[in-house]
Amino acid sequence: MKFPRIISSFLNPFFITFYFFIITLNLNTKAINPLPEKAKWIIYGLIIIITYVIPGLFIKFYGNFIQRFFKYGQKEKRIIYFFIVTVFYYLTYYLLIQLRLSPIYSLFLFGCTSLLVLCLIVSFFWNISIYMVAIGALSGGLLGVSMVFNINLLFPIFMVIFFSGLLGYSRLSLGKHRPLEVYGGYLTGLAIMLAHYFLF
């Protein structure tokens, strides 16, 4: 069970946005205004802090605070987490709009925010795999960038799809989800993210 745990840790949903920015900020194409190396590192830092560090700390301390007064199960805990992360993803999306970066980035964050809202709603009645939704969104984001902005991303797309298969296998091996929750999660992330690039 060690390999599935390693894959699940490496492809934690919190890291997916960071991976997207690593891939796209280093593209050598006229379709994206190139940024100085220093600006890239500043953006990396902002993405990690706003989409990972702050939500993680907020969830940890706020969740512990609430549990002192209210007793809630795993389902309620999951819904609270979704709500908190959704707020921070929307703030990140708003920040990118203000920075006037390429729409490649703001569309991805907008798609992530929409998916979080959808997962929040779905979580009331179905245990959809958030890990697979996230990596499906990464697949959809790279496909969307490639098709809409005419950028060759064949290799990163292939690698993400390959790791998607490994992640799906890992989630099933760990007994975290049933097959339908895994496949449904991936297709949901892929379809919704692609729709954002084609419709917005």
**pLDDT for 12 beyond 80:** yes
Q: Could you read off the pLDDT of 120-176 as tens digits, one per residue?
A: 899 888 889 999 999 999 999 999 999 999 899 999 999 999 999 999 999 999 998
State the Cα–Cα distance between residues 95 and 93, nearest whole angstrom.
Answer: 5
Q: Is the pLDDT of residue 66 over 70?
A: no
Each residue of 168-187: b (16+ CB within 10 Å) or e?
bebbbeeebbeeebbebbbe
Structural domain containing residue 60: 2-199
Residue the block writes with tokens 């209210």:
70
**How much is the pLDDT for 84?**
83
User: Cα separation of 83 and 78, whole Å?
Assistant: 9
Contacts 24+ apart (CB under 8 A), 117-126: 117/86, 118/188, 118/192, 119/82, 120/79, 120/82, 120/83, 120/86, 123/75, 123/78, 123/79, 123/82, 124/79, 126/181
Q: How far apart are the first and last CA of the chain?
A: 41
What distance in Å separates the CA atoms of residue 82 and residue 118, rounded to the nearest whole number? 10
Q: Is the pTM of this model over 0.85?
A: yes
pLDDT of 69 > 80? The answer is no
Give CA–CA dist 59/88, Å, rounded: 11
Distance, in Å, from the CA atom of 55 to the CA atom of 14, rounded to the nearest integer, reads: 9
Q: How many domains does the chain have?
A: 1
What integer pLDDT is reported at residue 19 of this predicted model?
96
Percent of the chain with pLDDT over 90: 54
**Number of other CB atoms surrounding residue 27 within 10 Å:** 17
Question: What does the pLDDT read at residue 65?
Answer: 62
pLDDT of residue 45 exceeding 70: yes
